[in-house]
Chains A and B, each alone.
Chain A
């Protein structure tokens, strides 16, 4: 590991922009209390982190996001496998799925609130709905892609349909399913935050709106920073996990390349 003596032009650019932020706010170029200096934002961030308020809120948001990912992902895989292996189910329920899919997800929050209230149940359901569709699509595509060769083998060995689905199809489709999860991951975070912003009462999304109503600009930008770090961290963590889970897939890919 060699530390580069000269930072790249890109890092310089980012540093300059951050400096511009600080200076423009300190000198009040924008003539508004809504443009706080970066250092004020960092102080607000440090304060609410040290009081334990932010970590608790972020933890809640992540928990709801994870629950929604698990529930929506599981449902997506099950329904996707069903649709792909039993075409009749796809013909019966496919149109329903296609009608619900294009509804932009924030719009389903108001009706869901009426039935599920404002608590975890509603927020987890919204995240689950977001995750369900990409995972469903990817699972179906995956099954279609591995169907021909892998399944024929299972059939010749006389394995029953359920065991075939669990033992052969599911592992073979796993890379596609995980890709679906990765697509949903960023959206799941967004939607968890959005649900909190609209329904309130918990999480980092509610904190954001609270601070907006309390007129505290530094806290608003601090929240955006927290969410950026979260988004980045989640994506990284998922890539690592994906690599671990389906290392054989990457190994095969590398062979094919060579």
Chain B
């Protein structure tokens, strides 16, 4: 069923690869810059089979997940506080507005100055990229909670903490998850970038390093691996989101 819908696309992909192979073999594309797919495949297989892939792969994934977790938790916490307590909003809003528009990629060299080039600095840059979209979405979610339901909660004698946890948080969840989904892509972007700029381990560094050493087949092989990581992360999040929001409609009156 699903296969019948995507096979035309797969055929196009196969044709494209075959065309590339033919073009390289006919000398239309410089082999030193774009090796034939059949020359990249064995290199890719070698990386997978020898287990060489594991260390850089885990380095990048660790960075993405650690940064994503820290950034999300902070973003949700601060977003909830700012949405729920007017005093917190007044205190933090100017700071958030000041920091939010900074392109986080530009912070990497500044962070390198005083955090060095270790994991701390890389995780910090990824968390910062994740923090703001999650924060802003959480804030929107909290603000959007139905007034009627809040009044109902109060008349039922729910305390503020109880209301926050059992009414506001679930109601804001779709917004929070949407923010997290945007951030997951950003987390991978920042992780790859931080690796490229700090020049240490990880998939991002390897792709750049292989290019600069003119190990072009290796560069494409690592790029394929990174693309698969991106695809898998996105798929994983869609799956989690569907699960998490599964019960959502039931909550509505």
Instruction: Tell me, yes or no, whether A and B come into direct contact in the complex with CB atoms closer than 8 A.
Output: yes
Partner of A231, one of B33, B102, B208: B102
- CB contacts (< 8 Å) of B207 on chain A: these are 107, 110
- Tell me whether B196 and A95 are in contact (CB under 8 A): no
Tell me which residues across on chain B come within 8 A of A101, comparing CB atoms.
230
Tell me which of B48-56, B109-117, B164-172 binds A: B109-117
- Taking A35-B114, A209-B109 as contacts, is the C-beta distance between A111 and B223 under 8 angstroms? yes
Q: Nearest chain B CB to A33's CB is how many angstroms away?
A: 9
- Asked if B101 contacts A8 (CB within 8 A), the reply is no
* Given A91-B9, A102-B231, A212-B112, residue A228 in contact with residue B102 (CB < 8 A): yes
Known: A10-B93, A104-B192. A194 touches B114 (CB 8 A): no
Give the contact-size bracket for chain A: 35 or more
Chain B, interface SS category:
helix
Q: How far is the CA of A100 from the CA of B227 in the complex (A)?
A: 7
Contact with B along A168-201 (1 / 0, CB 8 A): 0000000000000000001001110110011000
Bits for B219-240, please: 1 = Cβ < 8 Å to A, else 0: 1100100110011011000000
- How many angstroms from the CA of A35 to the CA of B107 in the assembled complex? 14
The CA-CA distance from A98 to B33 in the complex, in Å, is 24
Q: In the complex, what distance in Å separates the CA atom of A72 from the CA atom of B212?
A: 27
Q: In residues 93-115 of chain A, which contact B (Cβ within 8 Å)?
A: 93-96, 98-111, 113-115
> A residues within 8 A CB of B145?
none
Which residues of B are at the interface with A, using a C-beta cutoff of 8 A? Answer: 5-6, 8-10, 12-13, 16, 33-34, 87, 90-95, 98-99, 101-107, 109-110, 112-114, 185, 188-189, 191-193, 196-197, 203-204, 207-208, 210-212, 216, 219-220, 223, 226-227, 230-231, 233-234
Known pairs A92-B8, A108-B223, A114-B211; list 12 more (Cβ under 8 Å).
Answer: A13-B92, A101-B230, A102-B185, A102-B231, A102-B234, A104-B193, A104-B204, A106-B193, A110-B223, A114-B216, A224-B106, A231-B102
